[in-house]
Structure 1
Amino acid sequence: MKTVGIIVEYNPLHNGHVLHYNRSKQITGADAVVAVMSGPFLQRGEPAIVNKRARTEMALRMGVDLVIELPVTYAVQPAEWFAYGACTLLNATGVVDSLSFGSESGTLDNLLPVAEKLVKESDELRKEIARQMSTGSSFPSAYAAAAAAVTGASESSIQALNKLLAKPNNSLGLHYLIALKRLGSPIVPYTIPRESAQYHDAEPAASTIASATGVRKLISEHGLESSAPYVPDYTLDILRREFEEGRGPINWENFRQPMFHALLTQDVTQLQLFNEVTEGLEHRIQRLLPQLAEPSIEALLDSIKTKRYTRTKLQRMLLHILLQNKKSDMTRKQLEEGPGYIRVLGFRESGRALLRTMKKSASLPVITRPSTFDHPFLERDLKAAAVYANAYANPAIPAIFSDYLLPPITL
């Protein structure tokens, strides 16, 4: 059985995702699809609009055979570690033959040569990234410039590479390729061009295609039904159910009280211990808190944002503070070890065959019941899910602990 892996967030699943799913099967000739999906919190440092069980159900309804979770330890990291964690999981299943991801370029021709040169991240690259950031560049810009510099590119090539990696999906795709090479994985990469809507597009660009950002904006400003042209019927049904039950839509402001509690009860020496609190940001937070116009996450982000620190970086920083993720818990050495388990979120009947094969082929334990396994990353996942559920309109104990108690979703 040929199996393609995809790395997703589905926040929420929309028509563009369906297009990617169908084309991934088509170009790889795959019989089955395994999706690695972020849990309640996402790579850009945001909470998902609905919980991971609802988004798993969307994926299964679309046709994905098996959904596994990207641990929050990797899900809320910069592109390097997000990609490394996801690719490690796909590689560890022992059943995935190929990886398909979307990109703005739509070809591997200009990404693979760069990945070949960057597979061994040298001290030179890290120093150049630091130098670029010291001039005020954001991390994505600094990485692109440093990558160009250490690969010995010409001035015209440097400009081309900067332009290439300025696109978020190209940049993430490059890190997928680097991760596969670092792992020595036999997984064959493919890329599919993003069409119509781009990653950050806030407005729909076609009659039936909108980015996840655009879909969420429509829902926020005009209500759920306004998203109907851009999402499958099953996504709309699931969102409608979750909203009616008070489990969505979830956004940063749902975490305002616990977030401000964390910031107001810890001094700078405590704040600086958390992941992504770097270069004196703890002092900036403490200095600007009393100057906010209102106690909202949006006001806080607007206040502390600078040219050097992207909103994504700052959101991830706040999320690490909210979840109490310390730098000592997420060292480079710890992250390089990779996820220590494969957590199954859901599967179709067709996915049972994959699970049976994985019990023999997987290089990591396959977990369907968290109560049977102990790992610090899994404990962090369970806590993150509980924090997320506590933000529901009417949180209840069964919901808060559902990630520990409920079995995978099956179709």
Structure 2
Amino acid sequence: MKTVGIIVEYNPLHNGHVLHYTQSKAITGADSVIAVMSGPFLQRGEPALVGKRARTEMALRMGADLVIELPTAYAVQPAEWFAHGAVALLAATGVVDSLCFGSESGSLDTLLPLADSLAEESEKLREEIALRMSSGISFPNAYAAAAAAVSGSKASADTIAEQLAKPNNSLGLHYLIALKRLGSEIVPYTIPRKGAQYHDQVPAVSSIASATSVRRLILEQGLEAASPYIPGYVYEILRREFDAGQGPNDWESFRLPLFHALLTRSPGELDQLHEVSEGLEYRIQKVLPLLGEPKVGQLIDALKTKRYTRTKLQRMLLHILLNHAKGEMTREQLAQGPGYLRVLGFTSKGQALLKQMKKTASLPVIMKPSVLDHPQLRLDLQASAVYGNACPRPSVSFIYGDYLLPPVTL
């Protein structure tokens, strides 16, 4: 049985994701699909609209056979470590033959040779990144320019920098780098993004809209406004979750616990938390009294500069919210990869994959957290509880769902 891996967030699953799933199976000739999915908090430092069980159900109803959780330690990191964690999980299953991701380029012609040259991060690359950041530009832009400068690729530096300025190309490059660093035999494929682009704020005319615009429609106009852009089963799941008071969540849902953390910590205490760096602990203290209202959106706007992107700031605030100490997520620790394969859901075909993984998996496969004591898993459980507590109508069963509920089955 040929199996393709996909790396997803489904916040929420929309028609573009269905197209990616369908084309991934077609281009790879796969019989089954394993999805590595972020938990309650996402790579851009945002809370998911609904919880991970609901999004797992979306994935299974679409056709995915097995959904594995990307640990929080990787799910809320910059592209390098997000990609490393997700690819390491796919490799650890021992059953994944291929990886298919969407990209703006729709081609590996530039990305593959670039990944070959960047897989071993050189001192020269680090110097070039630092040089560019010293001029005040953001890390993503500095990385793109530095990678172009040191790559040795036949493509021009301008072409490389232009390609890496596009978010899905950049993330795809890090998937390829992760495959190289892990020495994995998983074969990469990419397909072009169709219709809406990643950051589009409003839907295009077609039935495909970005997740950003779908969320905006839901939060500002209600679920009905987003219905043309999501499958019917996703509409049903979202309506059920919203009616149960388990969404929709956005950053303002976490306003009270976040501001409590910011108001009760000194700059020195904030400096001990992951991604609080370069004096941001003092900038936070400076802007808090100047806000018109104690809202997360206003805080991010006040903190944002050319150097500090919205995504960087959101991730930093998320680490503050979840009390992630710097020592919990060092480069050395993250390079070791995830410590387990946490199953969120499966179908009958996924059950067959799990049976096969008993022989092939290089990490423990866990259905419930009580069977393993691992620092990354403790962070996952904490994140799920914090997320559940911020829902419109929090319940103990949702807050402690990791302990009380089995994987989603279909």
Normalising by structure 2, we get a TM-score of 0.99
**Number of the residue aligned with 2:327:** 328
Q: Distance in 1 between matches of 2:78 and 2:403?
A: 27
Match of 2:57 in 1: 57
**Residue 197 of structure 1 contacts residue 206 of structure 1 at CA under 8 Å; is this kept in 2?**
no
Aligned to 2:374: 375
1:399 Cα deviation after fit:
1.6
For 2:342, the equivalent position in structure 1 comes to: 343
Query: 1:314 aligned to 2:313?
Result: yes
Q: What is the match of residue 293 of structure 1?
A: 292
1:374 CA displacement: 0.8
**Which residue does the alignment assign to 1:109?**
109
Distance across 2 between alignment mates of 1:385 and 1:153? 43
Alpha-carbon deviations, 1:164-208, whole Å to 9, x = none? 000000000000000001000000000000011011111112321
Q: Which residue of 1 aligns with 2:129?
A: 129
Q: Which runs of 5+ in 1 are unaligned?
A: none
Paired residue secondary structure (1:189) = strand
What's 2:69 paired with? 69
Would the aligned equivalents of 1:207 and 1:229 in 2 still touch at CA under 8 Å?
Answer: no
Secondary structure, counterpart of 2:156 in structure 1: helix
Q: In structure 2, give the amino acid aligned to 1:82.
A: F
Q: Percent identity?
A: 69
Alignment gaps of 5+ in structure 2: none
- What letter is aligned with 2:268? T
Alignment of 1:204-283 (within 5 A): 204-283=203-282
Q: Confirm whether residue 395 of structure 1 aligns to residue 394 of structure 2.
A: yes
Aligned to 2:38: 38
Partner of 2:16: 16
Q: Structure 1 CA distance, aligned partners of 2:188 and 2:395?
A: 43
Distance in 2, matches of 1:224 and 1:394, equals 18
SS of 1:47 mapped into structure 2: coil
Shift of 1:300: 0.2
Contact 2:113 2:153 in 1 (8 A): no
One-letter identity of the residue aligned with 1:20: H
Mapped contact 2:114–2:153 kept (Cα < 8 A)? no
Stretch of structure 1 that moved more, 123-132 or 345-354: 123-132
Given that 1:49 and 1:250 are in contact with CA atoms closer than 8 Å, whether structure 2 keeps it comes out as: yes
Distance 2:151 2:47 in 1: 36
- Matched residue count: 410
Deviates more, 1:124-133 or 1:190-199: 124-133
Q: Residue 153 of structure 1: CA displacement?
A: 6.1
SS at match of 1:350: helix
The correspondence of residues 189-204 of structure 1 with structure 2, limited to 5 A, is 189-204=188-203
Instruction: Point out the more displaced range, 8-17 or 390-399.
Output: 390-399
Is the Cα contact below 8 Å between 1:13 and 1:55 reproduced in 2?
A: yes
Residue 119 of structure 2 corresponds to 119
Question: 1:345, 1:368 within 8 Å by CA — same for their partners in 2?
Answer: yes
1:405 matched to 2:404? The reply is: yes
Q: Give the secondary-structure state (helix, strand or coil) at the position aligned to 2:100.
A: strand
CA distance in 2, matches of 1:319, 1:368: 26
Residue 161 of structure 2 corresponds to which residue in structure 1? 162
CA distance in 1, matches of 2:85, 2:288: 34
Which residue type is aligned with residue 97 of structure 2?
D
RMSD of aligned C-alpha atoms? 0.9
Take 1:190 and 1:149, find their aligned partners in 2: how far apart are those partners?
A: 26
State the partner residue of 2:303: 304
Answer whether contact 2:368 2:402 (CA < 8 A) is retained.
no
Q: State yes or no: 1:187 paired with 2:183.
A: no
For residues 146 and 152 of structure 1, the distance between their equivalents in structure 2, rounded to whole angstroms, comes to 11
Give the 3-state SS of the residue equivalent to 1:345 in structure 2: strand
Q: Contact 2:117/2:152 (CA < 8 Å) preserved in 1?
A: no
* Rounded Cα–Cα distance in structure 1 between residues aligned with 2:91 and 2:193: 25
Maintained 8 Å contact 2:51/2:246: yes
* Contact 1:347–1:409, Cα closer than 8 Å, also in 2: yes
Which letter maps to 1:214?
S
Task: State the Cα deviation string for residues 122-176 of structure 1 (Å, max 9, x = none).
Answer: 122112111111111111100011111112468x811111110000000000000
